[in-house]
Amino acid sequence: MKKILKVVGGIIENSKKQILCALRPENKNLGNMWEFPGGKIEEGESCEEALKRELFEELNIKVKNLEYYSNSIKEYEDVIIDLTCYKCEIEKEENLKLLEHRAFLWLERKNLNSLKWVPTDITIMENLILESK
């Protein structure tokens, strides 16, 4: 039986209603693909705690007003990823620094599908686009 890996992602919207998209490092699994930033939930953490920790570790940002958005489960060759996404607000955009990702973009919802997304995030990305119509 495949291992189930529980992860969290942040749908971070700026004051211009653009969504933060992060490019995975080239040398990591699913490298050079875009994702909603986040990461693994550690033992004893809530989803919200994990997301806050991961966003600080990866992007040097603090987020607030976390609101559950959606869940996506995707089976890969060796693991099942169970992704829980939250909409959240960044406290200070100017603090954003790339500590793990290769790049980031702020995109309007209607343009999100212009990127090559990790498979787990595709359904969430598509729902965000539908909401903008």
Which residues lie across from 82 on neighbouring strands?
A: 6, 73
| Domain count along the chain | 1
Question: Residue 20's domain spans which residues?
Answer: 3-131
CATH number reported for the structural domain that contains residue 14 in this entry: 3.90.79.10
Name the more confident of 51 and 29: 51
Task: Report the share of the chain in percent with pLDDT over 90.
Answer: 87
**pLDDT of 132 higher than 90:** no
Mean pLDDT of all residues in 66-83: 95
Q: Dihedral sign for Cα 112, 126, 8, 85, please.
A: positive
- pTM score, whole prediction: 0.92
Mean pLDDT of all residues in 55-60: 96
